Amino acid sequence: MLLPVVARNFYDVIVIGTQLGPLLTAALLARRGFRVLLIAHDDLPWTYSLDEYRFQQEPFMFSGADSPAVRRVLSELSLTQDFRRRTAPHDPYFQVVLPRHRIDFTGNAVAFGRELEREFHDVRRPIEAFYTVAERCNQELDKLVGTEKLTLPPETFFERRELASAAVHNPFSRARGPVTLFGDMPPAHPFRLAVMGQVRWASDLDLAEPSSLQVVRLHASWTRGTLAIDGGLEGLKGLVLDRIARHSGDVRHDLSADRILTRRGRVAGVRMTGQEEITGCTFVVLGADAHHIPRLIDEKDLGRAFVARLAQVRPTAVRYTLNLVVESRVMPEGMARNLIYISDPAAPLMEENLLRIEASGVPSGDLRTLCIGALLPVGKAQDRSYLEGMRGRILARVRWLVPFLDQHLVAVDSPYDGLPVQDRRRGREVALGDKWIRSPSRMPTIFRVDPPGPLDVTGLHHRTGLKNLVLACRQVVPGLGIEGEFLTALGAARIITKSDRRKRRFGREAWTKIDL
């Protein structure tokens, strides 16, 4: 769409969306001297409440803190010390429960060895071989993702050359031959199911048949340590928003993009919803999920190649959330704060058979909240009756984990099935908020990329067919979870910074010993 009027306000960069990837991109660019406007678009708050009950949109914990990409971003934003003060390691990192097995994944090597011996003594040697191979491979992958000039996925000649140079550290390259992870361990072995169940929850990419690189990297992101952050996801975003403000960036939670406007084949500005005035800019960073792109800009402006690639990124599953408020005394002893529950090892790892549970709240308090996630096929999730019945199906599985659940269940709610909050303590049902906000269409989406991008973890390129429109959404590096969002932010910020030598020089000059 051509820009019809002269813009009154002008920014170097307008960032659309407050997911972690675009949020970090905005902070990095503001830190490097760009005038940045961040708009929330239609992102939802992570938590919502009814009286004393506090619910979450989905389970959350921070993983992959030792990734070179994460450390580099925190260092450049001078967030390393604040991040350490606001986080605490989980103990255990997470727990996996099957009908006849329970294993705590912990950083204590002696305790973890005892766990393996107690639960899987019959395959102790293949498991030790798995972790030996995984540790060696992860050290090589650290070097790969730690390459300073790496952009994932690469697009230009020089970016492909940088990846080819960094790929000498890829232990899973074809030149090195196949890497055996599980040896002769049966596909349905409980340990193998435990790893695969955790890996599915660590990624935004459909992992029906994950590659060896995905298994190793995603499993390591949790087994190297998971962290609780003060305030959860909102607390983490608050740290980054503070850095944007410190570097004179503008943050507008009340604005939403209606249209991205163009002039002569490049971005010219953004028209906000409900406003006639145009906000001009040099770059637009789109952090909203890829399905928002056709709503914001005409396909003819994006180019055939990008539109074709966009069609290859298909939603296959969604993340459904059910919140249970329970009395603290019903919580089983030994139940970890973060748990993966596989109720039937013979069934597919989907729906109520693969649950991710986060227990939040003060353990010594009267109430605890169980935030329960389930992966649902996209087709089924569009069926209203199926979605409304998911509450009962999940409760049926959770009763095995939490005996006497019904006698101590205080409240039940899902932000996505459109049903009211069930306040069992007061014997009432309460309809919360806007029905559109609590719509099934708001569930986070899992995508499949066909054909897969480089390293089998990437999707869409940062660049689009429209000049100066840059992507920083979850579909850029969906296969690496939280680490992928940090890599996405680094790539998007690098592309924009390279376009302005003055800003790039400022960024180098502003780098201080404190940052390092």
Helix (H, G, I), strand (E, B) or coil at 152: coil
Return d(Cα 382, Cα 375) in angstroms, integer. 13
pTM equals: 0.92
Backbone angles phi, psi at 262, to 5 degrees: -130, 165
Burial of 436 (0-12, 13-18, 19+ CB in 10 A): exposed
The interaxial angle of helices 124-145 and 68-76, nearest 10 deg, is 40
pLDDT for 365 equals 78
**Virtual CA dihedral for 5, 260, 16, 436, nearest 10 degrees?**
110
Strands 278-286 and 469-471: what pairing?
parallel
Return all residues near 488 (Cβ < 8 A) that are at least 6 apart.
21, 25, 152, 462, 472, 473, 474, 476, 477
- Yes or no: say if 474 and 486 are a contact pair by the CB < 8 Å rule: no
pLDDT for 9 equals 83
DSSP class per residue in 361-425 = S-TTSSEEEEEEEEEEEHHHHT-HHHHHHHHHHHHHHHHHHSTTTGGGEEEEE-SSS-PPEEETT
Structure tokens at 441: 């269409």
Domain range list for the chain: 9-45+230-312+450-510, 107-150+160-223, 314-442
- Yes or no: say if 430 and 420 are a contact pair by the CB < 8 Å rule: yes
The pLDDT tens digits of the residues spanning 370-410 come to 999 999 999 999 888 999 899 999 999 999 999 999 999 99
pLDDT for 51 equals 82
The pLDDT tens digits of the residues spanning 85-97 come to 999 999 999 999 9
pLDDT for 216 equals 93
pLDDT for 509 equals 46
pLDDT for 512 equals 40
pLDDT for 5 equals 46
Return d(Cα 496, Cα 212) in angstroms, integer. 33
The label of the residue with tokens 């030994």 reads: 334
Return d(Cα 273, Cα 292) in angstroms, integer. 14
Q: Do you find a cis peptide bond into 153, omega within 30 degrees of 0? A: yes
The label of the residue with tokens 């940045």 reads: 36
DSSP class per residue in 253-301 = TT--EEEEEEETTEEEEEEETT--SEEEEEEEEE-S-GGGHHHHS-HHH
The CATH classification number of 9-45+230-312+450-510 equals 3.50.50.60
Bridge partners (DSSP) listed for residue 463:
470
Longest dimension (CA), the chain: 72
What amino acid occupies position 437? I
The label of the residue with tokens 């296969």 reads: 479
pLDDT for 508 equals 46
Which positions of the chain have pLDDT values less than 70? 1-8, 175, 177, 362-364, 434-437, 501-516
